[in-house]
Amino acid sequence: MSDLLLLDGALSPAVDAMLLRATAYGHFTSMQVRDGHVDGLDLHFERLDRSTREVFGQALPEDRVRRDLEAALDQAGSGDLSIRVNVFFTDELHLLTRVSPPVQAGAQPLRLLAFQHERAVPHLKHTGTFDLTYYGRKAQLSGYDDAVFHTATGEISEASIWNICFARGSDLVFPSAPALPGIRQQVLQRGLDSYTTVPVSVADLKTYDAAYLTNSIDPALPVASITTQDGTTTYEPHPASVAAVTKAYAAVPAQPVRRGSTTR
């Protein structure tokens, strides 16, 4: 299938300069749809409404977002796709929905290069993503797969387009440094019997058994290594934490985009 662009739920055959300028200030959410279902769909609705209230001073009702998601499925003619919903404002609130083919989760553990960096207003999934691409590219040019960030005091926060978590045995640990509360991370946390949110120091990386990246595409992509100014920490495959993550996701079923559809 070809990429589609929907504006307020209707197919947009062209994009003008005004639209591109308007979308430079806004926020968004991204999701993978499988068989018409999305992991943590209610969390996407909550994120869009909360962020719209903060950025634009207006509510964004779930019904409006759901109608546009249903329109995206109708236009694509498929229940398996990628969707990104951008929220922006000109004379009124708009939703710009980008539909593209589904993306499969990665399988190769990633080698991360650490940078001291803190995103602006990190709790919002806003459109100011230049810095994420910049540091990700800088890591790749240095021979790594991607970037991971830490604060000025040496606390790990997040990776370029992922949340990150760590494992000690079967227990998962999430960094408490300011970061975007990712939807997949929240779904994972819903399914865990328990977890810990604490400062994760760069100096303590070697005390963990494993590390995983989570986002809408990758529910738990293993980290092969993290390189900091103090050296490189490597992680081997870790069955105990893999089992804990697998069990947690299995406990939280995906939710249907269309009302009345059966939850898997």
In a domain, 31, yes or no: yes
Question: Taking 60 as the threshold, does the pLDDT of residue 67 lie above it?
Answer: yes
Q: What is the CATH number of the domain that holds 117?
A: 3.20.10.10
Give yes or no: residues 146 and 79 share one domain. Answer: no
Q: Report the sign of the C-alpha dihedral through residues 31, 37, 43, 48, in that order.
A: positive
Give yes or no: residues 245 and 118 share one domain. Answer: yes
- What pLDDT score was predicted for residue 91? 86
Give yes or no: residues 138 and 88 share one domain. Answer: no
d(CA 249, CA 160): 23
DSSP assigned state of 259: T
In a domain, 53, yes or no: yes
In a domain, 194, yes or no: yes
For the residues 235-247, what does the mean pLDDT come to? 97
Give yes or no: residues 71 and 118 share one domain. Answer: no
- What pLDDT score was predicted for residue 10? 81
Residues 15-49 have pLDDT tens digits of 665 676 667 899 999 999 999 999 999 999 999 99
- Report which of residues 17 and 155 the model is more confident about: 155
In a domain, 115, yes or no: yes
Give CA 174 to chain center in angstroms.
Answer: 15
Give the end of a domain, one of 100, 125, 141: 100
Enter the pTM of the model.
0.92
In a domain, 125, yes or no: yes
Number of domains in the chain: 2
Give yes or no: residues 141 and 64 share one domain. Answer: no
Give the end of a domain, one of 57, 74, 100: 100
Q: What is the CATH number of the domain that holds 93?
A: 3.30.470.10
Range(s) of the domain holding residue 34: 4-100
Q: Report the sign of the C-alpha dihedral through residues 6, 124, 148, 192, in that order.
A: negative
Which is nearest to 257 in space by CA: 121, 75, 131? Answer: 75
Give yes or no: residues 157 and 211 share one domain. Answer: yes
Give yes or no: residues 89 and 121 share one domain. Answer: no
Give yes or no: residues 143 and 117 share one domain. Answer: yes
Give yes or no: residues 114 and 243 share one domain. Answer: yes
Give yes or no: residues 76 and 129 share one domain. Answer: no
d(CA 217, CA 45): 18
In a domain, 260, yes or no: no
Give yes or no: residues 230 and 127 share one domain. Answer: yes
- What pLDDT score was predicted for residue 8? 83
**Distance between first and last Cα of the chain:** 25
- The first and second tokens of residue 254, run together, are 């995906």
In a domain, 150, yes or no: yes
Question: Taking 90 as the threshold, does the pLDDT of residue 152 lie above it?
Answer: yes
Give the end of a domain, one of 55, 80, 100: 100
Give yes or no: residues 166 and 236 share one domain. Answer: yes
In a domain, 261, yes or no: no
Collapsing DSSP to helix, strand or coil, 195 comes out as coil
